[in-house]
Amino acid sequence: MSARDIADVEALRASEEQRAALGHLTGLDVAGEVSESLVLRTVFELGLQAFHASLEEAGYAAIAEGYDSAAEKRAARRRRPEWADES
């Protein structure tokens, strides 16, 4: 870890407001005095959440890119209406 990383971790450990925000975002209990390893774990959890959200976003974008709404509309127009067989 760089000197800046260490300073950031210490700032997170020292600030009750920042720890509360970490706890809120990760769902982990980081109230009161916390160890450096717990702060690192919460930051790691947030990074993983952001990573998974990015993967999910890319996946949905790929699905949307492959979706051809014009083809769907053409197929719907060719389809026989459900009510056509009613007597």
Per-residue pLDDT of the chain (87 residues; tens, 9 = 90+): 899 999 999 998 898 898 888 888 888 787 788 888 888 988 898 999 999 999 999 999 888 887 777 777 788 888 887 887 776
Task: Give CA–CA dist 46/44, Å, rounded.
Answer: 5
Which CB contacts under 8 angstroms, 24+ apart, belong to 2-11?
A: 9/36, 9/39, 9/40, 9/43
Domain ranges of the chain: 3-79
- Which residues have C-beta within 8 Å of that of residue 49, sequence separation ≥ 6? 25, 26
The widest CA-to-CA distance across the chain, in whole angstroms, is 80
Verdict on whether the full-model pTM lies above 0.85: no
